């Protein structure tokens, strides 16, 4: 396996999953989303897709800022930014007071779905 060196100005897509406290009201949750959008904008990141996965129970209790959390609001965003911005963004997400946990990974490129057997027969 070899490392691919990216051109300096290449923009990549990343998947960002955020866990926010479940005890936030809808107004506080919207405020937190706005703060996170501003944080992304500060690091020249743009949100290309947004999904609110809702409130879910956690597999285990997470202690964050002295509070134990058994459930959280899940947000899943597809974000585009330059790779050099990622370290700074991760640092700020880690220190964001309303983010219980986050996961930032490189998004896999979308693949064309494989043709179904009926589509193959029609093509022949």
CATH of the domain at 31: 3.30.70.60
What domain range includes position 43?
Answer: 20-109
Q: How confident is the model at residue 2 (pLDDT cuts 50, 70, 90)?
A: low
Looking at residue 88, what is its pLDDT? 93
Looking at residue 110, what is its pLDDT? 74
Look at residue 103 and tell me if it is in a domain.
yes
Looking at residue 65, what is its pLDDT? 85
Task: Give the chain's domain count.
Answer: 1
Look at residue 6 and tell me if it is in a domain.
no
Look at residue 78 and tell me if it is in a domain.
yes
7 pLDDT more than 90 = no
Provide DSSP, 36-79. Answer: HHHHHHHTT-EEEEEEEEEEEEEEEEEEETTEEEEEEEEEEEEE
User: What is the SS3 assignment for 115?
Assistant: coil
pLDDT tens digit sequence for 44-92: 999 999 999 999 999 999 998 889 999 999 999 999 999 999 999 999 9
Q: What is the DSSP letter of 10?
A: -
124 pLDDT more than 90 = no
Residue 91 exposure: Cα atoms within 13 Å on the Cβ side: 6
Look at residue 90 and tell me if it is in a domain.
yes
Look at residue 77 and tell me if it is in a domain.
yes
34 pLDDT more than 90 = yes
Look at residue 66 and tell me if it is in a domain.
yes
6 pLDDT more than 80 = no
Rounded CA-CA distance 24/100 in Å is: 12
pLDDT tens digit sequence for 83-110: 999 999 999 999 999 999 999 999 887 7
């Amino acid at each position: 396996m070899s490392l691919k060196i990216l051109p300096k100005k290449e923009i990549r897509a990343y998947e960002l999953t955020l866990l926010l406290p479940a005890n936030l009201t809808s107004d506080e949750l919207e405020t937190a989303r706005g703060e996170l959008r501003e944080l992304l904008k500060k690091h020249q990141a743009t949100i290309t897709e947004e999904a609110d996965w809702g409130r879910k129970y956690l597999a285990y209790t997470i202690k964050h800022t002295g509070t134990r959390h058994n459930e959280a609001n899940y947000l899943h965003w597809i974000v585009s930014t330059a790779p050099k911005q990622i370290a700074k963004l991760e640092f700020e997400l880690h220190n964001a007071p309303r983010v219980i946990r986050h996961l930032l990974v490189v998004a896999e490129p979308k693949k064309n779905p494989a043709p179904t057997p009926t589509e193959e027969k029609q093509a022949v």
